[in-house]
Each structure stands twice: as structure tokens, then as C-alpha cells.
């Protein structure tokens, strides 16, 4: 595990990754990520939805995958520092 990297998701969700999305699995899981920062209130956000599972499947999870893939392609020490700074100033 590392300090910065994609957070593990609900069991079974990473099994749904296909093609390029599977590159995320090559990353060490981390304590903080852009997706974790954006969805720090995920539980509350899901409680507001009439169909939380559908919202997670169609909105949240695909957005997390997109952000984690972006991290995969742009990861660097400078990017990790930027994510840590965002975490510390949130």
C-alpha cells in the first residue's frame, strides 16, 4: 500500500473493469487519491439518491475509474505531492 493511489472499492467492482480500465489494477492501492477526495462524502451522497446502486454504477464508479486512469497516466512525484496538498488543505 502507498500513501497516494486508488482506494480499494466495494468487492466485485474491480472485476467489472475492462480493457484499458484494468491498468488501474497495476497501481498500488493508496490512502488518498483524487477520487477519494472528491467522494469523501460518498455515503451521504448515495443516501440522497432514489436508486443509490444505479447512481453508484452509472455516475460514481465510472468517475472514479476515469480519475484513477488519469492518475495512472500522469503519476509522478509532483502529482503525488499535489494530491497530498489537496488532502491537507481540504
pLDDT value of residue 72: 96
User: Does residue 28 form part of some domain?
Assistant: yes
pLDDT value of residue 16: 87
Structural domains counted in the chain: 1
pLDDT value of residue 86: 95
User: Does residue 14 form part of some domain?
Assistant: no
pLDDT value of residue 12: 84
- Tell me the residue range of the domain where 78 lies: 2-8+19-89
pLDDT value of residue 64: 96
pTM, two decimal places = 0.89
**How are beta strands 2-4 and 30-32 bridged, if at all?**
parallel
- Output phi, psi for 40, to 5 deg: -60, -25
Mean pLDDT, contiguous 10-residue spans, the chain (90 residues): 86 88 93 95 96 96 96 96 94
Amino acid at each position: 500500500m502507498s500513501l497516494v493511489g486508488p482506494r480499494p472499492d466495494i468487492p466485485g467492482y474491480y472485476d467489472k473493469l475492462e480493457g484499458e480500465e484494468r491498468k488501474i489494477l497495476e497501481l498500488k492501492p493508496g490512502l488518498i487519491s483524487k477520487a477519494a477526495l472528491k467522494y469523501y462524502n460518498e455515503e451521504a451522497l448515495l443516501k440522497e439518491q432514489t436508486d443509490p446502486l444505479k447512481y453508484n454504477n452509472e455516475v460514481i464508479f465510472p468517475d472514479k475509474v476515469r480519475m484513477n486512469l488519469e492518475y495512472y497516466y500522469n503519476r509522478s512525484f509532483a502529482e503525488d505531492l499535489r494530491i497530498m496538498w489537496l488532502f491537507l488543505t481540504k
